[in-house]
Chains A and B, each alone.
Chain A
């Protein structure tokens, strides 16, 4: 198990390195630069600025400088927001993004699993149909539209919750964003759970359990749930990474102080450091999540060999 984990970590290193390289060069080959403002800067100021951020060096030299810094855990300075470096910006914005994504993740996973189980047990009866419709609505309507509709209905007409904005520490302001973020995730989880549960309920060992007189509740809790969880578990990793990236969009829509705000403005202003730093952060999170999922999967399903 340990050796398997170690090999997986090793194989992720080249992937990460290549992805960082690709991002670096795509960004740099894009036209424009961080200092193209509304007003053109005097040439000497521009030259000094470029020299300060090493932008006057050949691209390859800049690349190795960046990698060298990265290996020391330094994501570099922000070229547009004065006096901040990328790690500071991330440490300001990311905790919020992470909190929101984790809230949505926990709520959505719990609701999704429960709903999927209920739908499977009542297959082709009304709870099942209601669920399928709720899933469709959540998965199909894009998050910005869902946000706008919920804001209009619950925030403006019914005035139950604030329609947007952020007051530090207020749970009320998180309800709509977390709902928008969690709904599609809950939908996908419940769809997976329903499918695998129906399959498991049709297997021979469940029939055996029933025929020896176990109550339906015991059959579910002792025999059906664990194997039915396998596809759900393998989706949790990608699911959390969807939530983290989706959170960027939701923050933008509701005007919340997460990392999404910095990322979009940074991409527009060619703030190379911030864009690369955020992308690298996300990439490492996704790789780590995939790794964790693989390990959990191996633990849940003894048939998976540690190759």
Chain B
């Protein structure tokens, strides 16, 4: 029967062409998404700006002439002055604003990424478990999420921070532990549809345990929505952190974050505008970039959602 339909012949020629790199190559879903992302100009610019800010925040402090907690006694409350190396001016204590903004950006970024990691981990595991087991487990778990939604968010963050004390590590965890609710809902919804797919059934028929199925078969298929939502969570967390710092509950002196800097700059903005404008510009740029990247990723990974 071989060769009756000519199928083998076609396939063989195609295989030969592939071997000599002559045939049109298929594109994977990831490549497809990348192409769509690259075509989105705002997203590309945003990625570029974000990467620049991240690099500057990490290596910048080593190239700045002043340290972030170093006091320059001869230049207190001075506007930007290039001759002595205070490119963004100095604050009331004579500390260099450029160094402080760099350190603050670094701190805000670290808080954002750690807290996002915490919230994504909790949200994905919680949502996947609730969605996979369904029934009563699902009902109880989602009811708990409802309860936490009913708690006024800001009040809860303040209570948590007061409870944990002003330890920055616990601050990250505290913020992350609150931001997971929406993630859990999204993941649960996705899991409900994924668990009906054939490959999950096949895994179950093959005798895989629920935990293995969730970790091996369901969670990897959640990557798209999780990545999108995580990118959109980062700005929220940056805002939450800077708000807490603004209230004086967040990062403590001499360490600083963008929120702390803004709260220090706001009351004196009339006489020393550089103290407010520098951290504010960085914060706004960060938030805009992250949002554009999040939107771009959503359009790229989930084209039917447009």
A residues 262-291 in Cβ contact with B at 8 Å: 263-264, 267-268, 270, 275, 278-279, 282-283, 286-287, 290
Number of A-B contacts defined by CB within 8 Å: 108
A245 touches B153 (CB 8 A): yes
B residues 245-300 in Cβ contact with A at 8 Å: 246-247, 259, 262-263, 265-266, 269-270, 273, 276, 280, 283-284, 287-288, 291
- The minimal Cβ–Cβ distance linking B36 to chain A, given in whole angstroms, is 20
Separation of A26 and B157 alpha carbons in the complex (Å): 12
Separation of A33 and B243 alpha carbons in the complex (Å): 25
Known: A26-B163, A140-B288. A15 touches B269 (CB 8 A): no
| Any A CB within 8 A of the CB of B4 | no
Q: Across the interface, which residues of B come within 8 angstroms of A252, CB to CB?
A: 247
Binary contact readout A131-166 vs B (1 if CB under 8 angstroms, 0 otherwise): 000001000111111011101100010000000000
Q: Name B270's contact: one of A30, A141, A144, A152 (CB within 8 Å).
A: A152
Q: Name B155's contact: one of A16, A156, A263 (CB within 8 Å).
A: A263
A136 touches B159 (CB 8 A): no
Binary contact readout B138-178 vs A (1 if CB under 8 angstroms, 0 otherwise): 00000100110011111110111011010000000000000
B243 touches A144 (CB 8 A): yes
B152 touches A282 (CB 8 A): yes
A29 touches B163 (CB 8 A): yes
Q: Across the interface, which residues of B come within 8 angstroms of A148, CB to CB?
A: 262, 265-266, 269, 276, 280
- The minimal Cβ–Cβ distance linking A217 to chain B, given in whole angstroms, is 29
Q: Across the interface, which residues of B come within 8 angstroms of A147, CB to CB?
A: 266
Q: Across the interface, which residues of A come within 8 angstroms of B242, CB to CB?
A: 142, 144-145
| Any B CB within 8 A of the CB of A121 | no
| Any A CB within 8 A of the CB of B235 | yes
Given A15-B143, A142-B287, A156-B269, 8 further pairs, Cβ under 8 A = A18-B147, A22-B147, A23-B159, A30-B162, A30-B163, A141-B287, A148-B269, A245-B155
- The minimal Cβ–Cβ distance linking B4 to chain A, given in whole angstroms, is 50
| Any A CB within 8 A of the CB of B239 | yes
Separation of A280 and B284 alpha carbons in the complex (Å): 34
Task: Count contacts on A: residues with CB < 8 A to the other chain.
Answer: 44
Q: Across the interface, which residues of B come within 8 angstroms of A268, CB to CB?
A: 162
Q: Name A279's contact: one of B152, B160, B165, B284 (CB within 8 Å).
A: B152
| Any B CB within 8 A of the CB of A241 | yes
Separation of A22 and B265 alpha carbons in the complex (Å): 37
A279 touches B151 (CB 8 A): yes
Q: Which residue of A lies closest to B242 (CB)?
A: A142
Chain A residues engaging chain B, CB cutoff 8 angstroms: 15-16, 18-19, 22-23, 26-27, 29-31, 136, 140-145, 147-149, 151-152, 156, 241, 244-246, 248-249, 252, 263-264, 267-268, 270, 275, 278-279, 282-283, 286-287, 290
Q: Across the interface, which residues of B come within 8 angstroms of A141, CB to CB?
A: 284, 287
Chain B residues engaging chain A, CB cutoff 8 angstroms: 143, 146-147, 150-156, 158-160, 162-163, 165, 235, 239, 242-243, 246-247, 259, 262-263, 265-266, 269-270, 273, 276, 280, 283-284, 287-288, 291
Q: Across the interface, which residues of B come within 8 angstroms of A19, CB to CB?
A: 147, 150-151
A15 touches B155 (CB 8 A): no
A27 touches B247 (CB 8 A): no
A140 touches B291 (CB 8 A): yes
Separation of A246 and B288 alpha carbons in the complex (Å): 21
B165 touches A31 (CB 8 A): yes
B243 touches A283 (CB 8 A): no
Q: Can you give 7 A-B contacts (C-beta < 8 A)?
A: A22-B147, A136-B291, A144-B262, A148-B266, A156-B270, A248-B155, A264-B247
Known: A15-B143, A15-B146. A145 touches B284 (CB 8 A): yes
Separation of A147 and B276 alpha carbons in the complex (Å): 12
A267 touches B150 (CB 8 A): no
Which of A29, A145, A283 has the largest count of B CB atoms less than 10 A from its CB? A145
Q: Across the interface, which residues of B come within 8 angstroms of A18, CB to CB?
A: 147
Q: Name B283's contact: one of A145, A248, A279, A286 (CB within 8 Å).
A: A145
Separation of A16 and B239 alpha carbons in the complex (Å): 28
B154 touches A245 (CB 8 A): yes
Q: Across the interface, which residues of B come within 8 angstroms of A144, CB to CB?
A: 242-243, 246, 259, 262-263, 266
Known: A140-B287, A142-B243. A15 touches B158 (CB 8 A): no
B150 touches A15 (CB 8 A): yes
| Nearest 8 interchain pairs by C-beta | A30-B163, A148-B266, A282-B152, A142-B239, A140-B287, A152-B269, A144-B246, A245-B154
B155 touches A278 (CB 8 A): yes
Separation of A271 and B276 alpha carbons in the complex (Å): 33
Separation of A290 and B270 alpha carbons in the complex (Å): 42
